[in-house]
């Protein structure tokens, strides 16, 4: 068996028991890592309707099949559990160095069950694994904790994955960080980790991925070729130059920059938050993830000093900037630092504060509720104070720490209308009224509103554009308008969703493979085959992605999710208030018809939105047919 260490580390924090599970080749071929492995474990080991904060919740850290390979952007691992934010399948991916280090330590995944009686951290030093006390780390910011763990263990090259004070306090959108700069932000999985009294997992390894590969020479050759391609491909070159903050101005020009809680699509002060302002005011350097030549990560100054937490990505600039009506790039950088110190998902945090600002402007929240904070759109000082209150669950922060959906239900009145969420998770900073497949992705995603379900529509609008041409090996050849739905658009969605899901199984970043970025699909396939010796076809590879999506769908079916949950916030069916797409709305009837078409393509029942028995058998998931028959 090649391309894998075939070992899973299993830790029961209640008993302190530590075990090793060895995977079989048959199992590995069906569930070869990341999303697929995590989905299988959750579906088979987590009892339905388990309280996300109960010791019985299962927390999985699963490397992708290629995580740690010497191939740019193959750095990612999945964290998964039942989400306290959505109540459904929880999942979030991160890059950085922790996943590759875990592979070098000899492990494909860590499965954590139970709850430690007192705070602990896990120390994985190759095959030596130890549960250590973490009482002295509890309540402290992430930068201090990383330094303390490295000092305590006497090795500054140890990779530290951890939660922050927000996860300890069970903020429902608390995230997980590694190396302080890479984040499993979404779905509140940091709160699950906190509920288990698990502050951190420190890892050190000394193997090399090449020793696991079927054909290391070919794999190294692909890696070398891709590293050279980064500077010669316009898409990856742009990511290297500007990082994701480069998205701000073009989105604004196109009228699809979420502004003031998605009321508007253009921000009048965009010049103060676009990349040129970011570069001039806060940017200091570029950084990267393990073995990645793209180098899209940003370093910044905050309060006149180098921040230990890296710089805000586009999502963070968008969430704390235009979506809160704020044009102070320094305040946005500070908001990013606070999120990373407390370890909050910056998307959900910014979006929840934008929701609160709209509630405040409509009198649904008052100065008495906010502790005297004038929480109107544009008040950067109030925004920064609220982030800290959320991180500590104090005052208005305790309410907002529940996420916008739960907070809206408690506030009442029109508040639920202002909560821009799907399945309880806040929308990312992408406007579906200008990119309809992004809206379909928000609706059908098993983790709630997620912007990484498919490559966005705008890539495929022009017949001769490089991204459309790069998608040809996937079977996508026809240019389609971003604001369109229907049969052909849903076929595009279906293929792209399988492809993106494959990325989450294999450990590739959204900014690696075409059509979003520079790696030809053929080279993705070649990398998988060089690692494993499988000789997969493209169709077989896409089936791996589809299988993983169906596992997550089955998990949600068991928790009571159906087609009715695949929807969008009501506001998106109304017109944008300004910008290039002023007046444009998501067409409700076309949206519902598109969902029906998509379900049929996916082999899901159009009435319930659940996979059919026939589809599950086709995917080799015969054992899971009972999951749907019990619904």
Partner 1 sequence: MKLYAGGHLTFYMPGRKHSLEISLREPTPLREILAQLGIPLPEVALTALNGELVEAETAIVRDEDQVKVFSAVNGG
Q: Which residues bind partner 1 (CB under 8 A)?
A: 234-235, 237-238, 241, 244, 246-247, 249-251, 253-254, 314, 428, 430, 435, 438, 451-452, 455-456, 458-459, 461-467, 510-511, 516, 580
Q: With contact defined as beta carbons under 8 Å apart, do 473 and 522 qualify?
A: yes
Shortest distance in whole angstroms from residue 185 CB to partner 1:
13
Min CB(277)–partner 1 separation in Å = 14
Q: With respect to partner 1, which residue has the nearer C-beta, 538 or 580?
A: 580
Q: How far apart are CA 323 and CA 378, in angstroms?
A: 9
Q: Which of residues 315 and 358 has its CB atom nearest to partner 1 in the complex?
A: 315
Q: How far is the CB of 142 from partner 1 (least distance, A)?
A: 24
The nearest distance, CB 237 to partner 1, in angstroms, is 5
Distance CA 190, CA 192 (A): 5
**Rounded to the nearest whole angstrom, what is the least distance from the CB of residue 455 to partner 1 in the complex?**
6
60: exposed, middle or buried (C-beta count within 10 Å: 0-12, 13-18, 19+)?
Answer: buried
- Give the residue with the Cβ less far from partner 1, 536 or 580: 580
Cα gap 266→257, rounded to integer Å: 6
> Diameter of the chain by CA atoms?
66
Alpha carbon separation from 32 to 59, 463, 531, 543 (Å, rounded): 18, 35, 12, 12
Which is nearer to partner 1, 174 or 235 (by Cβ)? 235
Q: DSSP string spanning 537-594?
A: -HHHHHHHHHHHHHHHHHHHHHTT--GGGS---GGGGS-BSSSTTBT----HHHHHHH
Phi then psi for residue 499, to 5 deg, are -65, -45
Q: In terms of CB distance, is 244 or 550 closer to partner 1?
A: 244
Minimum separation from the CB atom of position 574 to partner 1 (A): 22
- 3-state class (DSSP) for residue 284: strand
Q: How far is the CB of 465 from partner 1 (least distance, A)?
A: 5
Supply the minimum distance, in Å, between the C-beta of residue 230 and partner 1. 12
Kindly state the smallest distance separating residue 350's Cβ from partner 1, in Å.
Answer: 16
Separation CA 413–CA 287 (nearest Å): 46
Neighbours of 216 (CB within 10 A): 18
- Cα–Cα distance, 437 to 519 (Å, whole number): 22
Other CB atoms within 10 A of residue 333 CB = 26
Cα separations in angstroms, 626 against 370, 554, 614: 49, 10, 12
Nearer to partner 1, 28 or 508 (CB): 508
Nearer to partner 1, 119 or 243 (CB): 243
Which of 131, 461 has the CB closer to partner 1? 461
3-state secondary structure of 475: coil
Query: Which residue number, 156 or 464, has a Cβ lying nearer to partner 1?
Result: 464
Classified as helix, coil or strand, 86 is coil
Minimum distance from residue 90 beta carbon to partner 1 (Å) = 20
The answer to whether residues 209 and 63 touch, using CB atoms and an 8 Å cutoff, is no
Q: Is the peptide bond before 515 cis (omega within 30 degrees of 0)?
A: yes
Nearer to partner 1, 94 or 219 (CB): 94
Q: Are 293 and 345 in contact (CB under 8 A)?
A: no
Q: How far is CA 190 from CA 13, 81, 350, 451, in A?
A: 16, 10, 17, 20
Contact assessment for residue 350 and residue 320, using Cβ atoms and an 8 Å cutoff: yes
Kindly list the distances between the CA atom of residue 578 and the CA atoms of 255, 356, 357, 583, in Å, as whole numbers in the listed order: 8, 21, 19, 7
Residue with tokens 């010791």: 55
Nearest approach in angstroms of CB 190 to partner 1 is 22
Instruction: Return the number of the residue (510 or 573) whose C-beta is nearest partner 1.
Output: 510
């Amino acid at each position: 068996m090649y391309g894998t260490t075939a070992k899973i580390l299993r830790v029961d924090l209640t008993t302190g028991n530590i075990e090793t599970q060895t995977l079989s080749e048959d199992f590995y071929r069906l569930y070869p890592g990341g999303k697929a492995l995590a989905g299988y474990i959750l579906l088979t080991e987590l009892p339905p309707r388990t309280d996300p904060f109960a010791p019985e919740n299962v927390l999985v850290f699963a490397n992708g099949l290629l995580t740690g390979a010497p191939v740019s952007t193959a750095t990612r691992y999945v964290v998964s559990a039942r989400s306290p934010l959505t109540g459904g399948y929880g999942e979030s991916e991160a890059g950085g160095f922790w996943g590759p280090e875990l592979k070098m330590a000899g492990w494909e995944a860590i499965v954590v069950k139970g709850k430690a009686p007192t705070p602990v951290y896990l120390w994985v030093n190759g095959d030596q694994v130890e549960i250590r006390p973490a009482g002295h780390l509890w309540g402290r910011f992430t930068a201090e904790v990383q330094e303390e763990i490295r000092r305590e263990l006497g090795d500054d090259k140890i990779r530290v994955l951890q939660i922050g004070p927000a996860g300890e306090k069970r903020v429902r959108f608390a995230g997980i960080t590694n190396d302080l700069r890479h984040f499993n932000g979404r779905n509140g999985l940091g709160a699950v980790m906190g509920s288990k009294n698990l502050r951190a997992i420190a890892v050190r390894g000394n193997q090399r991925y090449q020793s696991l590969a079927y054909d290391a020479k070919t794999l190294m050759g692909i890696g070398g070729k891709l590293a050279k391609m980064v500077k010669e491909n316009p898409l990856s070159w742009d990511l290297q130059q500007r990082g994701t903050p480069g998205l701000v101005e073009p989105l604004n020009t196109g009228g699809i920059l979420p502004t003031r809680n998605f009321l508007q699509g253009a921000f009048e002060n965009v010049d103060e938050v676009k990349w040129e302002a970011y570069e001039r005011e806060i940017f200091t350097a570029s950084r990267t993830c393990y073995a990645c030549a793209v180098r899209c990560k940003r370093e910044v100054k905050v309060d006149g000093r180098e921040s230990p937490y890296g710089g805000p990505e586009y999502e963070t600039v968008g969430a704390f900037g235009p979506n809160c009506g704020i044009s102070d790039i320094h305040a946005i950088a500070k908001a990013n630092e606070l999120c990373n110190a407390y370890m909050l998902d910056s998307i959900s945090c910014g979006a929840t504060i934008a929701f609160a600002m709209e509630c405040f402007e409509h009198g649904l929240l008052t100065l008495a509720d906010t502790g005297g904070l004038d929480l109107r759109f544009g008040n950067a000082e109030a925004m920064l104070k609220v982030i800290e209150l959320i991180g500590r669950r104090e005052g208005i922060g305790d309410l907002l720490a529940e996420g916008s959906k739960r907070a809206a239900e408690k506030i009442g009145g029109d508040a639920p209308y202002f909560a821009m969420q799907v399945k309880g998770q806040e929308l990312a900073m992408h406007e579906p009224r200008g990119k309809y497949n992004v809206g379909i992705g928000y609706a059908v995603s098993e983790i709630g509103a997620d912007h990484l379900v498919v490559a966005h529509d705008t890539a495929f609008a022009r017949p001769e554009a490089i991204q459309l041409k790069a998608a040809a090996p996937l079977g996508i050849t026809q240019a389609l308008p971003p604001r369109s739905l229907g049969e052909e658009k849903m076929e595009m969605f279906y293929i792209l969703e399988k492809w993106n899901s494959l990325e989450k199984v294999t450990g590739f970043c959204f900014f690696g493979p075409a059509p979003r970025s520079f790696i030809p699909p053929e080279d993705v396939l070649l990398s998988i085959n060089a690692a494993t010796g499988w000789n997969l076809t493209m169709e077989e590879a896409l089936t791996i992605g589809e299988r993983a999506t169906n596992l997550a769908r089955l998990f949600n079916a068991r928790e009571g999710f159906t087609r009715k949950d695949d929807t969008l916030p009501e506001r998106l069916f109304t017109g944008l208030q300004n910008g290039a797409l002023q007046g444009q709305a998501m067409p409700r009837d076309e949206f519902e018809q598109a969902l029906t078409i998509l379900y049929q393509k996916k082999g899901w029942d159009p009435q319930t939105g659940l996979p059919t028995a026939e589809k599950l058998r086709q995917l080799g998931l015969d054992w899971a047919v009972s999951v749907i028959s019990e619904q």
